[in-house]
Amino acid sequence: MIHSYAKPILSASFGGKFPTPKMNFGKTKFNMGEKEILVAFRFLVFLAITVLLFFKDKDNQVFFSGKLQAIFTAYFLSIAALPFLKSNWVGNKNFLSVIFLTDILFISTAIYLGGIKDVDLFIIFFTTVFISALSQDVKSVFGIAIVSCSLYAFLQMKTTGQFFNTDTDILVRFPFLFVAAALSGYMATETNRQKEEQKRLKEMNQFLAEQADSSSQKLFETNRKLKSLLEYHHCVLASIKTGIIVVQKDGKVRTFNAGARQITGFIEAEMADRRLEELPENLRPVASVLARTLAEGRSFLQDHLELKTDRSEAVPVTLETTVLRGGNGEVIGAIATIKDMTLLRQMETQLLRSERFSALGEMAAGVAHEIKNPLNAIMGFSKRLSAKLEEPSLKKYADIIASEVVRMDGIVNDVLDYSRTDKIHKEPSDVNQLVAETAAFLNEKTESAEILVESALSPLLPKIPLDIPKVRQVLLNLILNAVQATAPGGKLFLKTRLIEGLVPEAVGGKGEGALFQQLFLQQKMVAVSVGDSGCGIPRENLSKLFHPFFTTKITGTGLGLSICQKIIASHGGTLDVESELGKGSTFTFYLPLAEE
């Protein structure tokens, strides 16, 4: 990942565009300081010549000659003009050569015209050559040295009348002048070279620093992008409800997402970096399939698996593993996805139940109808008998037949109620009000049974569409059941809440396989609970509770809860029960809010 990001950045910054710093070899650049030195030096030469002329030959009238004055004035002006010249002019090699040649010519002419004698001119020439060398290369210095030597020799001849001086051996002085020129020229060149080198290095440094700066900027940017990408992937993993466990090739857990935590109860911090065989006992089934996936490089699917959570609850799951391959197709790990099937299994059961119930209901309705016809005759004839019989005991027998038929008729009517699919007339209603009214309606019953009613009604409930008489029937049924299950001194709890849960989408299909076609939406719902501190329901009865005709009461058709469930279902809701033997039961129905 990092490589793929770093590569383009490097090629973008260095790809063939590495700039060569501009070098100024062959060009000597003076800065302001050097320009001043040059002015000072020339002024000194000017002064030295003036002093020489003045002191060495006091009686000489030539000092005031017009020619000499003109030369001195010209030279002085050339010095005075220097500070006004452009810096790069001063830095120009040819210009400097001209300056130094002018100096030498000036000195020579001044000496020649001034008629200075017995002065060691060599010092002045030597100084000029040496100074010029400081700012020139070897070739130019040599040129100046040759000109100096020629003028020196010429002046020597003119002043002394002979080429070879006995005091100062000119043959020694000439080579010395050249050696000095060469040496100083070489030193100047070397100094310049070093200066250039330093400058080049400085430029290079600056360039590298800039590069480093922009590179670190890009690295920072890349880092930021990577960070946000990581965060994004982390969020995706954390938001998926499916449990995802990823192990590396060496069997160490790399990822253990929030979904996995939700299902298993174990947290990522504890599972990360554990080896498969070090995972908790409860995760063994997952670990073993992951191990096989790694070992065999194949994917596995295990349906109807039960995982124990950290609280030892069994969660029905579907486990699927896939081989995790790297960019080159090599196995780098394995992924396990764990889907919590609790809800789906519950829905399957509910669907199965409601399908069975509706079939049963239809049959019950058919049977009830068939029973009604004989009842009609039995009832009619028993009454006729009773009317016609005069013997009291016989009359009584006939009356008993008639009253038993009435009872049978009541049961049959319950069955028909259950099977009948009446239309629901919903209108926005206040659930809390309905609960409170129903509880008040049953006040007498709960008081006589010495049961304390505790209500906790959420003030946040919006109005929801209800068929009030039908939902009231449900509440009555649940409350009466609770009262019957609770001994005197017990408690009854009425509770309403606003919660979020999965609700079948309204447009979903009906009939066979509806569960699998239907979409379930996360939606807000109103939950209404009726609880009691009664005897509780044995575990084996819990699953049968909503079966029609299932009853533990001596009298009763066993259709009450079935009918309740049907009514709630017709509102798009569900009815659930939780119960603990000896501690009590809580029936809760969930009603979806109105669609917006």
Binding segment for other proteins (CB under 8 A), chosen from 190-198, 274-282, 369-377, 533-541, is 369-377
Cβ at position 472, least distance to other proteins in Å: 19
Binding segment for other proteins (CB under 8 A), chosen from 167-175, 221-229, 376-384, 478-486, is 376-384
Cβ at position 419, least distance to other proteins in Å: 11
CA neighbours closer than 13 Å in the CB half-sphere of residue 65: 16
Q: How many residues bind other proteins (CB under 8 A)?
A: 20
Instruction: Report the SS3 class of residue 302.
Output: strand
Quote the distance between the C-alpha of residue 269 and its chain's center. Answer: 19
Alpha-carbon distances, residue 492 vs 130, 434, 537, 575 (angstroms): 118, 17, 16, 18
Helix or strand run (H / E) with residue 541: helix 539-542
Q: Which is nearer to other proteins, 159 or 473 (CB)?
A: 473
- When binding is defined by CB under 8 A, the residue of 214, 349, 376, 421 that contacts other proteins is 376
Cβ at position 377, least distance to other proteins in Å: 3
Cβ at position 564, least distance to other proteins in Å: 20
d(CA 206, CA 198): 12
- When binding is defined by CB under 8 A, the residue of 29, 93, 284, 383 that contacts other proteins is 383
Per CB under 8 A, 375 contacts other proteins:
yes
Can you give the C-alpha Rg of the chain in angstroms?
57
Q: Which is nearer to other proteins, 348 or 370 (CB)?
A: 370
Per CB under 8 A, 363 contacts other proteins:
no
Q: Which is nearer to other proteins, 239 or 413 (CB)?
A: 413
Q: Residue 193 contacts by C-beta under 8 Å, 6 or more apart in sequence? A: 25
Footprint on residues 389-428 left by other proteins (CB under 8 A): 405, 409, 413, 416, 420
What 3 state SS string does 394-415 have? HHHHHHHHHHHHHHHHHHHHHH
Terminus-to-terminus CA distance in the chain, angstroms? 46
User: Kindly report the CA angle at 224 between 218 and 230, in degrees rounded to 5?
Assistant: 135
Q: Which is nearer to other proteins, 224 or 407 (CB)?
A: 407
Cβ at position 460, least distance to other proteins in Å: 39
- When binding is defined by CB under 8 A, the residue of 254, 292, 372, 472 that contacts other proteins is 372
- When binding is defined by CB under 8 A, the residue of 368, 492, 525, 563 that contacts other proteins is 368
Cβ at position 423, least distance to other proteins in Å: 11
x/- binding map, residues 311-350, to other proteins, per CB under 8 A? ----------------------------------------
Annotate 304-321 with DSSP letters as a single string: EEEEE-TT--EEEEEEEE
Binding segment for other proteins (CB under 8 A), chosen from 177-185, 370-378, 453-461, 485-493, is 370-378
Strand pairing of 520-532 and 491-504?
antiparallel
Dihedral sign of CA atoms 81, 83, 84, 89 in order? positive
Question: Which among 554, 587, 567 is positioned nearest to 417, based on CA atoms?
Answer: 567
Q: Burial level of 116, CB count in 10 A (0-12/13-18/19+)?
A: buried
- Given a contact cutoff of 8 angstroms between Cβ atoms, the answer to whether 380 and 325 are in contact is no
Per CB under 8 A, 378 contacts other proteins:
yes
Cβ at position 368, least distance to other proteins in Å: 8
Strand partners, 133: none
User: Tokens at residue 477, please?
Assistant: 């049924």
Instruction: Report the SS3 class of residue 288.
Output: helix
Cβ at position 407, least distance to other proteins in Å: 12
Binding segment for other proteins (CB under 8 A), chosen from 73-81, 308-316, 367-375, 583-591, is 367-375
d(CA 504, CA 591): 11
Binding segment for other proteins (CB under 8 A), chosen from 251-259, 298-306, 366-374, 551-559, is 366-374
Q: Which is nearer to other proteins, 105 or 378 (CB)?
A: 378
Q: Which is nearer to other proteins, 420 or 539 (CB)?
A: 420
Largest CA distance in the chain: 194
Binding segment for other proteins (CB under 8 A), chosen from 9-17, 177-185, 279-287, 380-388, is 380-388
Cβ at position 379, least distance to other proteins in Å: 4
- Given a contact cutoff of 8 angstroms between Cβ atoms, the answer to whether 87 and 32 are in contact is yes
Cβ at position 477, least distance to other proteins in Å: 20
Q: Which is nearer to other proteins, 217 or 376 (CB)?
A: 376
Judged by the rule CB under 8 A, the positions of this chain that interact with other proteins are: 368-370, 372-381, 383-384, 405, 409, 413, 416, 420
